[in-house]
């Protein structure tokens, strides 16, 4: 049911972790299943994404798409990163089963949320970037469970 690339990225996800002093952080939740992804960008003075890390609390398809998405945005400018859509990520993974397509949205939305965070911090504008709806922000994290 899954392509070899999906399985490979699920088993060996790239760029897992966190970045201290990240230039932009985006956290999003998937409305359908409640899974969560957070992405960290280190963006240099030329607006190139120098480093990227992610954490995904979600299904295998979410992990694989997050992993591939980080590979696709690394080394790109903030403007090019906007073109890393869930469709582009799925294509790079040789497709996903139809019931798992929603999982790939997590990565795209997290990229947008992190770019938005960067723009807010720096005052830079990215044409076509809109405020992420599902950024669940930092507040939730600080709550005691």
Catalytic residues: 33, 103
72 near ligand FES (CB under 6 A): no
67 near ligand FES (CB under 6 A): no
Binding-site member from 2, 24, 35, 64 for ligand FES (CB under 6 A): 35
The count of chain residues that interact with ligand FES, using the rule CB under 6 A, is: 9
Minimum Å distance from CB 62 to ligand FES?
A: 4
- Closest listed residue to residue 111, CA positions, set 140, 84, 89, 92: 84
13 neighbors 64 (Cβ within 8 angstroms): yes
62 near ligand FES (CB under 6 A): yes
Burial class, 48, CB count within 10 angstroms (exposed 0-12 / middle 13-18 / buried 19+): middle
118 neighbors 78 (Cβ within 8 angstroms): yes
27 near ligand FES (CB under 6 A): no
Minimum Å distance from CB 25 to ligand FES?
A: 19
Sheet architecture: strand order including 49-57: 24-29, 36-43, 49-57
The two three-digit tokens of residue 37, written as one number: 């992804």
Binding-site member from 24, 26, 29, 58 for ligand FES (CB under 6 A): 58
Q: Using CB under 6 A, list all residues that contact ligand FES.
A: 30, 33, 35, 58-59, 61-62, 103, 106
């Amino acid at each position: 049911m899954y392509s070899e690339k999906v399985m490979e990225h699920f088993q060996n996800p790239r760029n897992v972790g966190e970045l201290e002093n990240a230039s932009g952080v985006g956290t999003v939740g998937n409305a359908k299943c409640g899974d969560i992804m957070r992405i960290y960008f280190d963006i240099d003075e030329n607006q190139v994404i120098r480093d990227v890390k992610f954490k995904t609390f979600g299904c295998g398809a979410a992990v694989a798409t997050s992993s591939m998405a980080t590979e696709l945005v690394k080394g790109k400018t903030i403007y090019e990163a906007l073109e890393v859509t869930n469709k582009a990520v799925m294509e790079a993974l040789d497709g996903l089963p139809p019931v798992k397509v929603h999982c790939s949205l997590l990565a795209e939305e997290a990229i947008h949320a992190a770019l938005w965070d960067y723009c807010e911090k720096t005052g830079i504008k990215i044409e076509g970037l809109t405020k992420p709806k599902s950024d669940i922000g930092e507040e939730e994290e600080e709550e005691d469970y």
